Amino acid sequence: MPSLPEWGAEPMTYLIQGETGDWEVVVGLEVHAQVSSKAKLFSGASADFGGKPNTHVSLVDAAMPGMLPVINEYCVEQAVKTGLGIEAEINLHSVFERKNYFYADLPQGYQISQFQHPVVGEGTVTLDMEDGSQRYIGIERLHMEQDAGKSMHDQDPKRSFIDLNRAGVCLMEIVSKPDIRSPEEAGEFVRKLRSILRYLGTCDGNMEEGSMRADVNVSVRKVGSDELKTRTETKNVNSIRFIMQVIEIEAERQVEVWESGGEVVQETRLFDVARNETRAMRSKEFAHDYRYFPDPDLLPLKLSEDYVAALKASLPELPDQKKERFIAEFGLSAYDAHVLVQERETAAYFEVAASGRDGKQAANWVTTNLFGALNKLGLSITESPVSAANLGKLLDLQADDTISGRIAKDVFEIMLDTGDDPEKIVEEKGLKQITDTGAIEAAVDEAIASNPEQAQQVRDGNGKAIGWFVGQIMKATGGKANPGAVNQMLRDKLSSD
């Protein structure tokens, strides 16, 4: 039995310790991302999720005799934008081909896809790992294809039902090179890809609704080897957690197979969530000769350089660029910047809150206080009761010494409850910091007088005791005294001479 995977000495090295030595895992992902488009790839029918069965079906989708596909140019635009977003080569000439196989939810008897000539070629996705390192994952290609319909086998004891609402919806298949070396990298890859797609608006990245899913290709090899051994492909994995689980399970299984003298078989496998295992599909389920050939109903897809250049010019700022800008403009750490740009909404929130203010402080507030609170409330950043503008105001109140850091946290709690403007809260609750030296002095004198022993310790040079006094005075003033002023006054009054 191989032991559980462990993090090796090298950063980001994921090793499986077998009986014959250490193994590493080689992973490639094929991510299917549904293009955000109102209409399907080759018909005008709605591509919306949901809807009663067979209500989003055109004559083309149902493959009625004599019906012909017409390319949806909006979908092409989204695929090209996505290609540009992953820094990939755009192929000005690409071809739609037919992938032939019979299934009840595939009305044409073939899926229109791209095979030999995809619209997007090689690209790169950059991953920011938790330890601050970066990994570059190569993209092999991106192509467009039609989704199939849905077969429902649980509606009737004898019959299966078919829902063609999804049939013909445009998917982008994004194929990575086998550059991924751990479940964490795979997870980060999908998160990063999803982030790019969402920034571009080309896919909503909603894995629960099936807008994104992945086929996971896994093989293992001895550490130090650069051989690519037989891989398995686990189909249709629909969450980041499951993708990571599949890699762990497959890697362990394969190491065990090799070490026990067996041979890993190139096959298609399914992930059984309930049993937390992968298992081979029956050969019948995948043993197809797809007989790809160029679809004679469609002309080759030709794009002009100008078209691609115009799309490139229209791209929004993407996560990597935004991250660099946040580092440069706001002085953030690479890690904070990475965390803030993952979701476009978070980045936008941060920018409003941080604009014209101390960026690092704003980042701290967003990544610790706000994220923590939202997490507890189960809310997304767009649902935050504390608006970005109000968080900014809170930072201002703290910066100009209107309130102390401690009070700011209290005000923030109230803002979470009420959504109110922090200025209003501070005003109404009388939380303004006491900057009146007379009032502070009175409190300091009172404290020194009541605690002669501690006062003596301070005079004797015990620095910790000063902190104790500050605490006492802050307590006495309900936190409203300016801690800096209190500290200074204590030092003045308790100085040894």
Partner 1 sequence: MTMLNELTITDAYQKLSSGEISAVELTQSCLDAMAAARDLNAFVTETPEIALERAGASDTRRASGNTVGPLDGIPIALKDLYCTEGVLTMAGSHILDGFVPPYESTVSANLRDAGAVMLGKTNMDEFAMGSATVTSYHGSTKNPWKLDDGKDRVPGGSSGGSATAVAGHLGLAATGTDTGGSIRQPASFSGIVGMKPTYGRCSRWGLVAYASSLDQAGPMTKSVEDAAIMLQSMAGHDPKDTTSAPIELPDFQAALTGDVRGLKVGIPKEYVIDGMPGEIDTLWKRGAEMFRDAGAEIVDISLPHTTYALPTYYIISPAEASSNLARYDGVRYGLRVNGDSLDDMYAKTRAEGFGTEVRRRIMIGTYVLSAGYYDAYYVKAQKVRSRIAEDFTKAFNDVDVVLTPTAPSPAFAIGEKMDDPIAMYLNDVFTVPASLAGLPGISVPAGLSAEGLPLGLQVIGRPFDEETMFRASHVLERQAAFSAKPTGMGG
299 binds partner 1 (CB under 8 A): yes
Span interacting with partner 1, options 14-22, 217-225, 290-298, 331-339, rule CB under 8 A: 290-298
293 binds partner 1 (CB under 8 A): yes
- Binding to partner 1 by CB under 8 A, coded x per residue (else -) over 8-47, reads ----------------------------------------
Helices 319-330 and 344-354: crossing angle in degrees, nearest 10, is 20
- Rounded to 5°, the CA angle 403-364-488 comes to 40
Minimum distance from residue 267 beta carbon to partner 1 (Å): 17
298 binds partner 1 (CB under 8 A): yes
Cα separation, 90 vs 15, whole angstroms: 36
379 binds partner 1 (CB under 8 A): no
From candidates 50, 157, 224, 296, binder to partner 1 by CB under 8 A: 296
Minimum distance from residue 142 beta carbon to partner 1 (Å): 22
- Identify which of residues 49 and 292 has a Cβ nearer to partner 1 in the complex: 292
CA gyration radius, the chain: 30
Restricting to residues 50-109, which ones interact with partner 1 according to CB under 8 A?
59, 62-71, 98, 100, 102-104, 107-109
Minimum distance from residue 374 beta carbon to partner 1 (Å): 48
Whether the Cβ atoms of residue 68 and residue 60 lie closer than 8 Å to each other: yes
Cα separation, 204 vs 269, whole angstroms: 27
- Identify which of residues 102 and 224 has a Cβ nearer to partner 1 in the complex: 102
Minimum distance from residue 67 beta carbon to partner 1 (Å): 7
Minimum distance from residue 74 beta carbon to partner 1 (Å): 15
- Identify which of residues 293 and 468 has a Cβ nearer to partner 1 in the complex: 293
- Identify which of residues 296 and 356 has a Cβ nearer to partner 1 in the complex: 296
Minimum distance from residue 259 beta carbon to partner 1 (Å): 33
E-assigned strand segments in 210-348: 212-222, 232-237, 268-272, 277-280, 293-294, 301-302
291 binds partner 1 (CB under 8 A): yes
What tokens were used for 32? 């299917």
For the CA atoms of 415, 418, 419, 422, what is the dihedral angle to 10 degrees?
-40
- Identify which of residues 25 and 301 has a Cβ nearer to partner 1 in the complex: 301
Q: 162 has which bridge partners?
A: 151
Neighbours of 253 (CB within 10 A): 19
Q: Which residues of 168-203 are buried (b: 16+ CB within 10 A; e: fewer)?
A: bbbbbbbbbbbbbbbbbbbbbbbebbbbbbbbbebb
- Identify which of residues 298 and 308 has a Cβ nearer to partner 1 in the complex: 298
Q: What are phi and psi of 491, to 5 degrees?
A: -60, -40
331 binds partner 1 (CB under 8 A): no
- Identify which of residues 115 and 468 has a Cβ nearer to partner 1 in the complex: 115
- Identify which of residues 66 and 356 has a Cβ nearer to partner 1 in the complex: 66
Restricting to residues 110-129, which ones interact with partner 1 according to CB under 8 A?
110
Minimum distance from residue 163 beta carbon to partner 1 (Å): 13
Cα separation, 379 vs 485, whole angstroms: 39
What tokens were used for 468? 């104790």
Minimum distance from residue 176 beta carbon to partner 1 (Å): 25
What tokens were used for 445? 């004198």
Closest listed residue to residue 489, CA positions, set 450, 455, 452, 462: 455
Distances (CA, A) of 74 to 35, 37, 44, 275: 9, 7, 11, 41
- Identify which of residues 14 and 42 has a Cβ nearer to partner 1 in the complex: 42
Q: Strand, helix or coil at 258?
A: helix
157 binds partner 1 (CB under 8 A): no
Span interacting with partner 1, options 180-188, 229-237, 295-303, 349-357, rule CB under 8 A: 295-303
Q: DSSP for 394-418?
A: HHHHHHTTSS-HHHHHHHHHHHHHH
Minimum distance from residue 64 beta carbon to partner 1 (Å): 7
Q: State the number of binding residues for partner 1 (CB under 8 A).
A: 30
Minimum distance from residue 354 beta carbon to partner 1 (Å): 50
Q: Which residues bind partner 1 (CB under 8 A)?
A: 59, 62-71, 98, 100, 102-104, 107-110, 160, 162, 289, 291-293, 296-299
